[in-house]
Amino acid sequence: MKWEETRQTNIGFDLTLLNDFSLSAEYYKKKTVGVLQTPDIPLYVGAAGGAAENVGDMQNTGFEFELGYKKRIGEFNLGVNANLSTLKNKVTRLLPGKSFIEDNAQSFQTMGNFTRTGLGRSFNEFYGYEMLGIFQTQAEIDAYRGPAGTILQPTAKPGDIKYANLDGNETISGSDRTYIGSPLPKLTYGVTVNLAYKGFDMVIFGNGVAGNMIFQGLRRLDVTYANWQHSILDRWTPNNPSTTVPRVVENDPNGNNTKFSKKYLEKGDYFRLKTLQIGYNLPSKITQKIGAQKLRVYLMSENLWTITNYSGYDPEIGGTVLGVDRGVYPQARSFMVGLNVAF
Beta strand residue intervals within the chain, DSSP E: 5-17, 21-37, 53-73, 76-86, 88-94, 100-102, 115-118, 125-128, 131-134, 161-163, 178-181, 187-197, 200-210, 213-216, 265-267, 270-281, 294-308, 324-325, 334-342
Residue ranges per structural domain of the chain: 5-129+177-221+257-342, 130-176+226-256
β-strands 53-73, 21-37 pairing:
antiparallel
DSSP for 175-208, please give it.
Answer: GG-EEEE-SS-SEEEEEEEEEEETTEEEEEEEEE
For residue 145, the 8-state DSSP code is B
Per-residue tens of pLDDT for the chain, all 343 residues: 889 899 999 999 999 988 899 999 999 999 999 888 776 666 666 666 667 888 899 999 999 999 999 999 999 999 999 999 999 999 999 988 889 988 667 666 678 889 999 999 999 999 999 999 999 999 999 999 999 999 999 999 999 999 999 999 999 999 999 999 999 999 999 999 999 999 999 999 999 999 999 999 888 887 878 888 888 999 999 999 988 899 999 889 999 998 999 999 999 999 999 999 999 999 888 888 888 888 999 999 999 999 999 999 999 987 778 899 988 889 999 999 999 988 8
d(CA 109, CA 113): 11
What local confidence, expressed as pLDDT, does residue 214 receive? 96
Task: Read off the amino acid at residue 187.
Answer: L
Environment class of 248 (CB within 10 Å of its CB; exposed 0-12, middle 13-18, buried 19+)? middle
Task: Read off the amino acid at residue 43.
Answer: L
Nearest C-alpha neighbor of 105 from the set 219, 215, 257, 184: 215
What local confidence, expressed as pLDDT, does residue 269 receive? 97
What local confidence, expressed as pLDDT, does residue 43 receive? 66
Task: Count Cβ atoms below 10 Å from residue 232 Cβ, excluding itself.
Answer: 12
Enclosing H/E stretch for 286: helix 284-287
What local confidence, expressed as pLDDT, does residue 303 receive? 96
Task: Read off the amino acid at residue 255.
Answer: G
